[in-house]
A and B are shown apart, each in its own frame.
Chain A
Amino acid sequence: MTGRLIFRKLLLAVPTILIVSVVVFLLVHFVPGDPAVLIVGDANNSELLARVRVELGLGRPLIEQYADWLGRIVRLDFGRSLLTQEEVLPLVLSRFSVTAWLVTIATSLSTLIAVPLGMIAAWRHRSRFDTGIVLLSVLALSVPSFWMAIMLILLFGVELGWLPTMGYLPPSAGLRSLAFILLPVVALTFVQAGTVLRMARSATLDVMRMDYVTFARSKGLSDRRILFRHVLPNAFSPVLTIVGLIFGNLLAGAAIIETVFTVPGLGRLLVESITSRDYPVIQGAVLFISLVYIAVNLLVDLLYPVFDPKLRTKP
């Protein structure tokens, strides 16, 4: 059953990916600026420009160019960066691994912190604790992530001098790498936690109004058992949706945080390639991001049945 479900979902992803590929392809061809000029570096050398255009196939009909391009993509040939001549796929993958590392830690942390806090706030609805949690989540939601990042750098990097203000080391560098990712992770966690907190709190409040929770109370069970056995499994599905969406979004580009902390992630790669009109990199990165997004959503879809037995039985 699960195998068939995955297959069906994957099949459904194919048209989405094709549409994305068309958009990505056309986008590059309709934005102002000539890639040939960029490569040659001299807009007046028309002879050389013409030769480069022929080499890149820029003069052929669009549909032919698209088919050609798609054919290469399918063979995992994303081309080379116009700027550095690096191969696009390994470049995107290595940058993605940095982002994935940061974002996975931040998402796990924010879920682990925000879900219990949100649930307890709901359980003590209208108490001081609840009010405090609501204020905190509003604060987290309204503070721009870059401002938060800058404040963190000022405090821990500049004033206290405890942590490096910029740069990145891969996890293979051991403990020292932790010092570099700590501030970006805190910034990302804080931003996400606000949304997750709100969702966890309101989902818990909704579930607590259900008759089956009153029934559980009438059985004389402890608060803890009611909260964890009866409320949590039912309140988690909407939270999961939100966590999945945020996770996908951040994987696709924690660009602002990466830029502020100069972390060499996927988001920053995208920003750099756009400013330098490095078309193969833009195309490769956007296509890759959409694939990641689809994969994350698929994962979330597959997780729903864990929390909702109605989805577990025959479709």
Chain B
Amino acid sequence: MEGVILSVRELVIAPQLGEVALVDRVSFDVLPASVCALVGESGSGKTLTSRAVMGLLPENLAVKSGALGFCGEDLLDFGPAELRRVCGARIGMVFQEPMSSLNPALTVGTQVTEALCWHRHMSPGDARTAAVAMLDAFRVPNAATSLDRYPHEFSGGLRQRIMLAAVMLLRPKLLIADEPTTALDAIVQKDVLDDMVRVAKDMNAGVLFVTHDLGLVERYADQLVVLRRGKMEEAGPTGELLRSPASAYTRSLLAAAPSKRAPRRSTGTGQVLLAIDRLCVDYTASGGFFGARAKSFRAVDQLSFDVRRGEFVGLVGESGSGKSTTGRAIAGLVDVAGGQIIFDGTNVAGTEGPARHQARNRIQYVFQDPYSSLNPRQTIGAIVSAGLAELPRAARRAKVEQLLVDVGLEAAFADRLPHQLSGGQRQRVCIARALAVDPDLLIADEAVAALDVTVQAQVLDLLAALQRRRGFACLFISHDLAVVRSICDRVAIMKNGKLEAFDETGRVFGASGNPYVKKLVSAFPTLSQ
């Protein structure tokens, strides 16, 4: 078809030595100056599809059949040398992790200009001039001097801009962006994506945008392809498809989107359980052995808020805002530099001994990453029963099984090992472990951030249901405003270690007078309908 940049037809990807297709007969088109979104949860095959275009499939996988039409030619007919001429020059790709996608040993300049010198045989001087212009277009400050610096000297958002500049410098026909801003904060994410789409459309390039976030899809994509377990659920223009999705799966995805969830009914009792009073936490960079000055950095600065019994309080902020540090300080995992943490009437800040120990038992923590917060060598039963040492064996086993059933797993899971569980199941185990000692306060530190939307929705429902039954309070630390809005009674918003706002959820999101809060709320992608 004339004018189509990428035309994927009946693409099948399977293991070299296997028949089970991981991507099964997927077809879609990418048009010039338009954004086509490839949406799905983990395991849907969206990343594999995008990698197949570049010939970057893992070595044990292969394209079994189908066609990858690019400007009238089939990329699958190309040998390695021909593919190399197209990759980079006419198809550019940016990756998810800004922290690991730039080579730490090479200067930014080398990495931005090398493809230009390679494909266009440009002299290093001309390439540099072009690079400065492109870095300017992506609003990298001090573009000229940036070229001589190394990636570790830049923030995640800037590294992502640098990667985009390196790719767009060759004026590719097609840009493949694989979750390009998933690792970034909401405000940075919006700025980077705005620039990416603007530059791509200026160049008349097509964008294949791989994402799991329907909010972003609605904001940026013209076309939408929904994938599930390697198969196409449906495809079409974004607006129409989101308004009236044909497939049940798309509808469930939309319903699971945190912004669409019904708010949790509040069960707060009004009695204060935890009061934080002018809390300060410092991080000290240790200076070594001989006289090097120890540098300290104030991560939490004069922070005050409170959590009532049976209440969900959201603690929100960008990365580096000090929200996780606050949670760790409350749990007694980091030292406190000043202020008070009054838990159930007793100040536990900076203390050790029985009071702190007791408080530690009554405050439990659920971590972000369900993959690294469970000991891979212990059975689920051993993990969940870690806090139940005083119970006799049989009673312990019974309690563990009851807990596993409570969090929606089966009693038989007690004998399994973490690697046999999915991400969502693991996070359920983490919750069961935390609830084993009947805590008064649960600190959930980005507890659902690593999960797919539908799984995320299930885990949030579970938390709300368990809370109704057991009556614990929860400090819910998150960067995801939509999730916080759906589950929290009150919200504290932090920036650079300081409190920006603390009020009832509706009031903070509705009509906050605080300019930072307004900016944060407006940057966050939400589904309109």
* Most chain B beta-carbon contacts within 10 A, residue among A216, A218, A308, A309: A218
Q: Which of B92, B104, B119, B292 contacts A218 (CB 8 A)?
A: B92
Q: Which residues of A contact B102 (CB under 8 A)?
A: 212, 215
Bound complex: CA A210 to CA B114 (Å): 18
What are 26 pairs between A and B in contact, CB < 8 Å?
A8-B290, A125-B59, A211-B95, A212-B104, A214-B101, A215-B102, A217-B56, A218-B56, A218-B92, A218-B93, A219-B118, A219-B166, A220-B83, A220-B84, A220-B85, A220-B88, A220-B115, A220-B119, A221-B88, A229-B110, A230-B105, A230-B106, A233-B106, A308-B104, A310-B152, A313-B150
- Interface contact A220-B103, CB-CB below 8 Å: no
Which B residue's beta carbon lies closest to that of A235? B105
**Is B271 in the interface zone, CB < 8 Å from A?**
no
Q: Which residues of B contact A (CB under 8 A)?
A: 54, 56, 59, 83-89, 92-93, 95-97, 100-107, 110, 114-115, 118-119, 150, 152-153, 163, 166-167, 288-290, 292
Q: How does the 8 Å CB contact mask read for A214-251 relative to B, with 1 for contact and 0 for none?
A: 11111111100100011001100000000000000000
Bound complex: CA A148 to CA B83 (Å): 48
Which A residue's beta carbon lies closest to that of B94? A215
**Is A12 in the interface zone, CB < 8 Å from B?**
yes
Q: How does the 8 Å CB contact mask read for A103-146 relative to B, with 1 for contact and 0 for none?
A: 00000000000000000000001100000000000000000000
- Interface contact A12-B289, CB-CB below 8 Å: yes
Q: How does the 8 Å CB contact mask read for A5-24 relative to B, with 1 for contact and 0 for none?
A: 00010011000000000000
- Interface contact B118-A225, CB-CB below 8 Å: yes
Bound complex: CA A313 to CA B163 (Å): 22
Q: Which residues of A contact B100 (CB under 8 A)?
A: 210-212
Q: Which residues of B contact A12 (CB under 8 A)?
A: 289-290
Q: Which residues of B contact A11 (CB under 8 A)?
A: 290
Task: Kindly provide the distance from the CB of A7 to the nearest chain B CB, expressed in whole angstroms.
Answer: 9
- Interface contact B103-A234, CB-CB below 8 Å: yes
Q: A217-B87, A220-B84, A220-B86 are in contact. Are A211 and B101 (CB under 8 A)?
A: yes
Q: A11-B290, A218-B87, A309-B150 are in contact. Are A212 and B101 (CB under 8 A)?
A: yes
Task: Kindly provide the distance from the CB of B138 to the nearest chain A CB, expressed in whole angstroms.
Answer: 16
Known: A220-B86, A220-B119, A315-B292. 11 other contacts (CB 8 A): A11-B290, A126-B59, A211-B100, A215-B102, A221-B115, A222-B84, A222-B118, A229-B110, A230-B103, A233-B103, A309-B152
Which A residue's beta carbon lies closest to that of B176? A218
Which B residue's beta carbon lies closest to that of A126? B59
Bound complex: CA A308 to CA B101 (Å): 16
- Interface contact A308-B84, CB-CB below 8 Å: no
A-B complex: 10 closest residue pairs judged by Cβ atoms: A220-B88, A220-B87, A219-B88, A233-B105, A219-B115, A218-B93, A212-B103, A309-B150, A211-B101, A220-B84
Q: Which residues of B contact A313 (CB under 8 A)?
A: 150, 153
Bound complex: CA A154 to CA B166 (Å): 60
Q: Which residues of A contact B56 (CB under 8 A)?
A: 214, 217-218
Which B residue's beta carbon lies closest to that of A216? B103
Q: Which residues of B contact A213 (CB under 8 A)?
A: 103
Q: Which residues of A contact B (CB under 8 A)?
A: 8, 11-12, 125-126, 210-222, 225, 229-230, 233-234, 307-310, 313, 315
Task: Kindly provide the distance from the CB of A17 to the nearest chain B CB, expressed in whole angstroms.
Answer: 15
Q: Which residues of B contact A234 (CB under 8 A)?
A: 103-105
Q: Which of B59, B83, B93, B119 contacts A215 (CB 8 A)?
A: B93
- Interface contact B105-A309, CB-CB below 8 Å: yes
- Interface contact A214-B95, CB-CB below 8 Å: yes
Task: Kindly provide the distance from the CB of A212 to the nearest chain B CB, expressed in whole angstroms.
Answer: 4
Task: Kindly provide the distance from the CB of B151 to the nearest chain A CB, expressed in whole angstroms.
Answer: 9
Which A residue's beta carbon lies closest to that of B90? A220
Task: Kindly provide the distance from the CB of A41 to the nearest chain B CB, expressed in whole angstroms.
Answer: 49
Task: Kindly provide the distance from the CB of B174 to the nearest chain A CB, expressed in whole angstroms.
Answer: 12
- Interface contact B97-A211, CB-CB below 8 Å: yes
Bound complex: CA A213 to CA B100 (Å): 10
- Interface contact B119-A229, CB-CB below 8 Å: no
- Interface contact A219-B85, CB-CB below 8 Å: no
Task: Kindly provide the distance from the CB of A25 to the nearest chain B CB, expressed in whole angstroms.
Answer: 25
Q: Which residues of B contact A215 (CB under 8 A)?
A: 93, 95, 101-103, 163
Bound complex: CA A315 to CA B114 (Å): 30
Q: Which residues of A contact B153 (CB under 8 A)?
A: 313
- Interface contact A218-B54, CB-CB below 8 Å: yes
Q: Which of B86, B93, B114, B167 contacts A221 (CB 8 A)?
A: B114
Q: Which residues of A contact B290 (CB under 8 A)?
A: 8, 11-12
Q: Which residues of B contact A308 (CB under 8 A)?
A: 104-105
Q: Which residues of B contact A230 (CB under 8 A)?
A: 103, 105-106
* Most chain A beta-carbon contacts within 10 A, residue among B105, B150, B153, B290: B105
Task: Kindly provide the distance from the CB of B96 to the nearest chain A CB, expressed in whole angstroms.
Answer: 8
Task: Kindly provide the distance from the CB of A277 to the nearest chain B CB, expressed in whole angstroms.
Answer: 38
Which A residue's beta carbon lies closest to that of B54? A218
Bound complex: CA A222 to CA B292 (Å): 45
Which B residue's beta carbon lies closest to that of A212? B103
Q: Which residues of B contact A309 (CB under 8 A)?
A: 104-105, 107, 150, 152
Q: Which residues of B contact A126 (CB under 8 A)?
A: 59
- Interface contact B92-A229, CB-CB below 8 Å: no
Task: Kindly provide the distance from the CB of A131 to the nearest chain B CB, expressed in whole angstroms.
Answer: 15
Task: Kindly provide the distance from the CB of B101 to the nearest chain A CB, expressed in whole angstroms.
Answer: 4
- Interface contact A218-B88, CB-CB below 8 Å: yes
Bound complex: CA A234 to CA B54 (Å): 24
Bound complex: CA A220 to CA B170 (Å): 12
Task: Kindly provide the distance from the CB of B240 to the nearest chain A CB, expressed in whole angstroms.
Answer: 32
Task: Kindly provide the distance from the CB of B68 to the nearest chain A CB, expressed in whole angstroms.
Answer: 15
Which A residue's beta carbon lies closest to that of B96? A211
Q: Which residues of A contact B89 (CB under 8 A)?
A: 220
Task: Kindly provide the distance from the CB of A243 to the nearest chain B CB, expressed in whole angstroms.
Answer: 18
Q: Which residues of A contact B86 (CB under 8 A)?
A: 220
Which A residue's beta carbon lies closest to that of B80? A223
- Interface contact B95-A229, CB-CB below 8 Å: no
* Most chain B beta-carbon contacts within 10 A, residue among A216, A220, A233: A220
Bound complex: CA A309 to CA B110 (Å): 14
Task: Kindly provide the distance from the CB of B128 to the nearest chain A CB, expressed in whole angstroms.
Answer: 17
Q: Which residues of A contact B59 (CB under 8 A)?
A: 125-126
Which B residue's beta carbon lies closest to that of A307? B105
* Most chain A beta-carbon contacts within 10 A, residue among B83, B88, B110: B88
* Most chain B beta-carbon contacts within 10 A, residue among A213, A219, A233, A315: A219
Which B residue's beta carbon lies closest to that of A236? B105
